[in-house]
């Protein structure tokens, strides 16, 4: 029995358009995932291990690992320490009226 080819992006877009609660949750999760991926990318580009970053910012390696693996959201204080250690900052702007995939 062959596999049926599906268009996952189309399925996701349809679900977002039909279910506003799903769309809201999707956007929240997407923002979190994007932030985590940017932090991981910056750490790797700097050539730092999780342990080295942890030592640099004064947290345990476990804090960095749990954040990067989406196991635990860091406190605001720890997030700021991590971002500072990677020479990153957060910019605040008005929300957009559209949903992107």
Q: What is the pLDDT of residues 16-40, one digit of tens each?
A: 999 999 998 998 888 888 999 999 9
Q: What is the DSSP letter of 1?
A: -
pTM of the model: 0.73
Q: What is the DSSP letter of 72?
A: S
CA–CA distance, 71 with 21 (Å, rounded to integer)? 23
Q: Could you read off the pLDDT of 64-90 as tens digits, one per residue?
A: 999 999 888 889 999 999 999 999 998
CA–CA distance, 72 with 4 (Å, rounded to integer)? 36
Which CATH number is associated with domain 18-85? 1.10.260.40
CA–CA distance, 68 with 50 (Å, rounded to integer)? 9
- Closest by CA to 38, choosing from 8, 3, 83, is 83
Residue 55 pLDDT level (bands cut at 50, 70, 90): very high
Q: What percent of the residues of the chain are helix, what percent strand, and what percent coil, each to the nearest 5? A: 60, 0, 40
């Amino acid at each position: 029995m062959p596999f049926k080819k599906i268009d996952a992006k189309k399925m996701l877009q349809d679900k977002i358009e039909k279910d506003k609660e799903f769309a809201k949750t999707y956007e929240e999760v997407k923002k979190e995932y994007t932030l985590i991926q940017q932090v991981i990318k910056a750490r790797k580009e700097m050539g730092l291990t999780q342990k080295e970053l942890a030592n640099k910012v004064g947290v345990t390696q476990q804090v960095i690992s749990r954040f990067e693996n989406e196991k635990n959201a860091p406190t605001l204080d720890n997030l700021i320490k991590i971002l500072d250690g990677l020479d990153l900052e957060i910019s605040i702007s008005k929300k957009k009226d559209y949903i992107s995939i």
